[in-house]
Structure 1
Amino acid sequence: MRTSLSVLAHILTVAAIAGCASSNKTVKQLPEAQVRSTQQSAPLISEEPSLVAIQSKYILKDTTQTKVFLYVDAFKGKNPITPADFIKTYNLNYVIYSDYGTRERLGYGNVKLDSSNVSTSGQKIVISYDLKSPNRDYGVLLSEISQTGTLKKVLNDLTIRFKKLDVNQTYGVYTANSTQPLQRHYINSNESFVIKKLNPEEEQLHVFYYNHDFEAAGSPMNIANKGVSKSLEVDSTFTIQANQPLQFAKEGLYNIFSDTTQAEGLGVLVVNERFPKLTQPQLLLGPLLYMSTNTEINEIKKAEDYKKALDKYWLTLMNGNAPLAQQSIRSFYSRVEEANQLFTTYKEGWKTDKGMIYIVLGPPDKVQRSKDREVWSYDQRGNAQNVNFTFNRKNNQFVDDHYELVRYAEYQPIWYPVVEAWRNGSIR
């Protein structure tokens, strides 16, 4: 009897990447920064508090004041830590440097943690604090969360453009009842949200809607010149009011401007209600291009029943071993979900260059950042040790954190053995 698989497997959730700070070519660390490994967030058996990762963003009130938000994955034992326990356990200090790799301080201070600036969003602790902006165009904020009575600390670096008052620096996207802006770039369809400044005002905003299916990342070995980028056609335009409840039912990319003469907007990707999970069979097909041949992808596309075709695909790869196929499905689509959580920009996270590398190779062992560059390091992958992938920040009209991978043909002996491990079920 033929065995049927459920490709709509429950997807496990892990925490975000925590990077380290560095300069670009010389990879000098900020004075207080230490290299931090990036790990998947697994519930801890110990009852000791543990910080797993920090993400951050900022909103400018004006050119003199900045508000910073830290989104912290913190656990006590197996459970997310409560705000009250977090306040009792941790301290927060910060330093503003003029750039990566320098010792010039533009400001520093400590933040008293209390119920007014520590809250939760989902399972994350969210900390907010105010900065007096230095009279500079640019700076690097280093936030340090330390555990009271120990030497344990976790650092987060955040580049801030203090004079750039575009909509994506001055507005935040908030869910209906939240006092903290979303760290992510996406909203689920029909999810209620508000777009507002730190000083809420009912300003009229202009929205450009794009009903466009952006391409997934190309192979890391594809060094061919991309050629001239095609212009993206706007499908519709309309206006909304800031500080008023909104819902966007139609999936797609919405770019929001306070002034239509601006080059960069506040990009919001509206996705289905299950995202960052992928559950619909036709959506599950997309990420498989990173581990499949064109023939395999085309065979599934031609099938009348996507679900049966996907079941057959996985069972064939695993030589009919249904339990192994089920485990491989869970592992693969867990990575896809994580990529969507971590790297969604103007397109789904799994389609980005970072998402592709993350899905196939997993979380990097170390992340080094400079002003417009990230370097992901893997201690060992495939047949190689000390593998680096460099991502350069590129100007983008929708988001300010779009990165592109520097591609090399020499990645081939690293990449293909890991892909083959996915195909034979040896990656867990």
Structure 2
Amino acid sequence: MHSFKNNLLLIFVASSLVFACSSSRNTNIKHGTGYNFKIGYPEFRTSSFGYVDRQGDAHLKISTHIVKGSLIYKKDIDSLKAKASISIQIVDAENPENIISEKHFKREVATLDEQINSSSETIELENTFSVPPSHYKILVTVTDLTSDKKITQEVTSYIPKTEQGKYSLSSIHMYGKNNEDSEWQRINTYDIKGNVDSLRFVFQIMSPQSKKSMELNSRLLRFESDTSYARPMHYSNYSPSSIEYKGIDYDKETELQSNKRVLSEYSSVFIEYKFAIQDRGNYRFQVTASKEGGEKEIFKARDFGIKSKNYPAVKSTKELARPLIYLMGEKRYEEFIAISDRDSLKKEIDRFWLKNIGSSARARDVIQLYYQRVEEANKQFSNFKEGWKTDLGMIYVLFGPPWYTEDRLNHLSWYYSYNREDPEYSFRFVQPKLKSKYFPFYHYIFKRNNFYYTIQYMQRELWLTGQIITRRL
């Protein structure tokens, strides 16, 4: 009995240590912001970077990228103009009523481009605030002054106090660059376009001068994750052991690169690492720092996902072809997507749309609506894969925004009928795992059923005949 108690105690202590380590590490893993997308509202992403200057003073650099195409433009003599106001509030994370600093300003965009509303170009804003070391919440609000619609994003930041002989690491920030750009661009989001050629990770060692050497160990990891498109609505549900059900498996990692650095002369310095862009998938760049003498190891990481080339838009021939899986049978789709020649594939895409619709003018309207839905799905539902590939994205692309929604803990219901008891147009989703610091994604799985075969078939026909323009269901 005594031995059993001792073993039980050892198990409990070991479990506590593992959990404490896991908990500590997850709080130091950053994922970037999402699109916070809402139709008709300004679209932007923001991030913050806390650092210490040479004099030991702490600062917050706040980066905000506003998508030009998300603003409302008015004709002004010979150009189009949009106006937006930006509000930045820095508040005490422990006491949100305590506003540490704030700033309010306006920006105007003038353009001759009549297609500006389709542009994914951004207005890049950077603001730096002097603050004492602490935990902060940063609230950034962008208001479109033409529509008076506003939206807010929240990010967090931590700047530790530095003491002689002690050290810490800042959060890790990402930059990207392609061959056409001469400068590195800040990446605020989890999702990264596949057209980026190089990645750069930057962080700061925050420490007064120390005589002890420091060892930095960095790793670039790839995680097993689901990158497939959603199954048809009438197929069987995913097995709990499948990667489609789990979404991403943080226990199955592949080390792509590792590096060890030893610093002997340093104070508060910036460190950077550069990598070539990776294939589509989900990754982590992580750093551990430790000083000689067995001092506490510090861990920081930045997670990110590589998406399609023009994400969240679909522009290339392959990008336009892939979402057609929801309007084709799988055998036909496999033959279609296997076409390697770009011009031949483009002709097949055109032939597919025109085959049943007939009118090229009507076909243009249908095509525009379909790919608009795909892009909106990417902005709203992306997680470890593009939003159009998720179950939520598939339903959104085919049926459009739900008429009514119900969200209860890990269950979500979308209704496309005035009768919420109508099983044919009541779509249920379940979250296998709730979003948390350990699993930072909204991952919903559609509750499939055989009787949805007819519903999806009928919806496909509305698209393929062009009736979707006048009759959505």
Provide TM-score, normalisation by structure 1: 0.59
1:21-170 equivalent positions in 2, closer than 5 A: 38-40=38-40, 52-58=42-48, 69-73=63-67, 74-77=71-74, 86=84, 90=85, 92=87, 94=89, 105=96, 107-108=98-99, 111-113=102-104, 122-124=121-123, 126=125, 128=127, 143-145=140-142, 152=148, 154-158=150-154, 160=156, 170=171
For 1:346, what is the secondary structure of its paired residue? coil
What amino acid does structure 2 have at the position aligned with 1:403? Y
Give the aligned residue type for 1:111: E
Percent identical residues: 17
TM-superposed CA distance for 1:129, in Å, is 6.3
Cα deviation 1:110-154 (Å, max 9, x = unaligned): 622469xxxxx9334546566979988xx9865444689x99462
**Counterpart contact for 1:56–1:156, Cα < 8 Å:** no
2:229 to 212, 216, 230: 216
Q: In 2, distance between residues paired with 1:69 and 1:143?
A: 10
Q: For residue 396 of structure 1, report the CA deviation from its aligned partner.
A: 8.5
Q: Which has the higher contact order (CA 8 A, sep 6+)?
A: 1
Give me the whole-angstrom Cα distance separating, in 2, the residues matched to 1:296 and 1:339: 24
Distance in structure 2 (CA, Å) of the matches to 1:376 and 1:154: 27
Which has the higher Rg, Structure 1 or Structure 2? Answer: 2
Is contact 1:205–1:258 with CA below 8 Å preserved after alignment? Answer: yes
Structure with more helix by fraction: 2
Q: Is the 8 A contact 2:237 2:448 kept in 1?
A: no
Corresponding position: 1:403 with 2:452: no
Pick which of 348-357 and 302-311 moved more: 302-311
Match of 2:386 among 348, 372, 385: 348
- Measure how far apart 1:218 and its partner are: 3.7
Match of 2:197 in 1: 191
For the residue of structure 2 that corresponds to 1:403, the secondary structure is: coil
Structure 2 vs 1, CA of residues 388 and 301 (structure 1 numbering), >3 Å: closer, same or farther? closer
Instruction: Pick from 301, 314, 318 the counterpart of residue 277 of structure 1.
Output: 314
Contact 2:199 2:277 in 1 (8 A): no
| In the alignment, structure 1 residue 237 sits paired with structure 2 residue 256 | yes
**CA RMSD between the two structures:** 5.6
Paired letter, 1:247: A
Cα deviation, 1:200-231, whole Å, max 9, x if unaligned, reads 99965311246987212345676735221456
Note closer, same or farther for the CA distance 1:246–1:159 as it changes in structure 2 (3 Å cut). Answer: closer
Does the CA-based 8 Å contact 2:50-2:60 persist in structure 1?
Answer: yes
| Structure 1 residue 175 corresponds to structure 2 residue 166 | no
Deviation string for 1:22-57 (max 9, x for gaps)? xxxxxxxxxxxxxxxx325xxxxxxxxxx6334444
Between the aligned partners of 1:152 and 1:373, the Cα distance in structure 2 is 34
More strand by share: 2
Name the CA distance, whole Å, in 2 between partners of 1:368 and 1:133: 43
1:159-194 CA distance string (max 9 Å, x none): 759699xxxx92221235357433352143453442
CA displacement 1:350-398 (0-9 Å, x = unmatched): 323443344334457899999x989797xx746767978768544687x
Amino acid paired to 1:191: D
* Paired position in structure 2 for 1:297: 333
Q: 2:20 is matched with which residue?
A: none
AA in 2 matched with 1:196:
V
One-letter identity of the residue aligned with 1:183:
T
| Contact 1:59 1:66 survives alignment (8 Å) | yes
216-225 or 327-336, larger mean C-alpha shift: 216-225
**Kindly tell me: are residues 18 and 258 of structure 1, through their superposed partners in 2, closer, same or farther at Cα, counting changes over 3 Å?**
closer
For the 8 Å contact 2:51–2:59, the answer to whether it is kept is yes
> For 1:154 and 1:127, how far apart are their aligned partners in 2?
20
- C-alpha separation between the residues in 2 aligned to 1:114 and 1:422? 45
Q: Which residue of 1 aligns with 2:240?
A: 227
Distance 2:418 2:143 in 1: 38
The CA distance in 2 between the partners of 1:264 and 1:417, in whole Å, is 47
For 1:285 and 1:151, the matched residues in 2 are separated by 35
Name the structure 1 match of 2:55: none
Distance in 2 (CA, whole Å) between partners of 1:363 and 1:298 is 28
Q: Pick closer, same or farther for the CA change 1:153–1:258 going to 2, 3 Å.
A: same
Cross-structure match for 1:286:
322
Q: Distance in 2 between matches of 1:70 and 1:368?
A: 32
CA contact (8 A) 2:317 2:345 kept: no
Q: Which runs of 5+ in 1 are unaligned?
A: 1-15, 20-37, 41-50, 116-120
Whether the 8 Å contact between 1:208 and 1:236 is mirrored in structure 2 is yes
